[in-house]
Amino acid sequence: MNIVLLGPPGSGKGTQGQLLAQTFGLVQLSTGDLFRQILQDPSHPLYDSLQVIKEGKLVSDEIVNAVVEDALIKLKDAKGVIFDGFPRTVAQAEALDRMLNSMGKKVEVVLDFDVTKDVLLHRLLGRRVCSSCKRVFHIKQGYTECPECQGQLTIREDDNEEVIIKRFGEYNQKSAGVKEYYLNADCAYIRLFVDDPDISAEEVNKWIIQELSKRGLVQ
Ligand code: ADP
């Protein structure tokens, strides 16, 4: 099963992607994580092209598609892939269909995270990420280190208010077309509305699994 997660920054798609990947034995492919990894290596050929990330702008479709294609080839034997942060434009959605088609696969499920702006800001400004296992936490949980692997908890460079506002703008501008693309595609489109800042990741995960089973997509 291949799943696309759509949603603005802070909507919880990364966290839900991790939970779904664990539950169903799928592989999560996060373009943001792939890019942040590349940005740690100044000698990487894409290092300069990826500097736009620090300003909250989108990376070009050409680069994103090439990075994803490369990653997908390595994942050809996976039971399924959860796409987190990709596609973000219609051109990327079309490219993903081409890549999957050529492997005899398709996007089966789209999860659209529709989360109010207040909830998004609250989450992003308090977000802490484990530098080692990449799990995501919130400052309100009070951890001084990752409770899973004791890694260091860090603040993402683009999680500051100015850059967050830009990322929202970019998302809103580009996402409408992607949503329409998938609403017209042959896949299950599941919309998740969140306006409660205190809803737990576990509650959201339960809801998603219920929706997937209602449609006969999981047992
Ligand atoms: P968020 O969803 O919180 O913005 P991500 O980790 O998904 O975070 O992405 C971080 C940044 O990486 C984005 O702001 C953007 O600059 C870049 N990026 C990630 N995925 C894509 C994509 N599919 N297309 C273009 N740029 C991307």
Both tokens assigned to 195: 């306006």
Ligand 1 interacting residues, C-beta cut-off 6 A:
9, 31-32, 35, 53, 56-59, 64, 85-86, 88, 92, 158, 167
Confidence of residue 34 (pLDDT cuts 50, 70, 90): very high
Residue 205 above 90 pLDDT?
A: yes
Residues ≥6 apart with Cβ < 8 Å to 76? 103
pLDDT of residue 117: 87
Among the atoms of ligand 1, which is closest to the Cα of residue 60?
25
Both tokens assigned to 208: 């998603």
Confidence of residue 101 (pLDDT cuts 50, 70, 90): very high
Residue 191 above 90 pLDDT?
A: yes
Contact 31, 86 (CB under 8 A): yes
Mutate which of 13, 53, 165, 168 for ligand 1? The one with the most ligand atoms within 8 Å of its CB, which is: 53
How far is the centre of ligand 1, averaged over its atoms, from the C-alpha of 34 (Å)?
10
54-72: average pLDDT: 94
How far is the centre of ligand 1, averaged over its atoms, from the C-alpha of 216 (Å)?
31
Q: Which of 71, 62, 79 is nearest to 33 (CA)?
A: 71
pLDDT of residue 219: 77
Write out the catalytic residue numbers. 13, 88, 127, 156, 167
Tens-digit pLDDT profile for residues 107-141 = 999 999 999 888 999 999 999 999 999 898 999 99
- CA-nearest residue for atom 6, ligand 1, is 32
Residue 10 above 90 pLDDT?
A: no
Both tokens assigned to 140: 């309100």
Contact 76, 155 (CB under 8 A): no
- Residues of the chain with pLDDT > 90: what percent? 83
83-102: average pLDDT: 96
pTM of the entire predicted model: 0.89
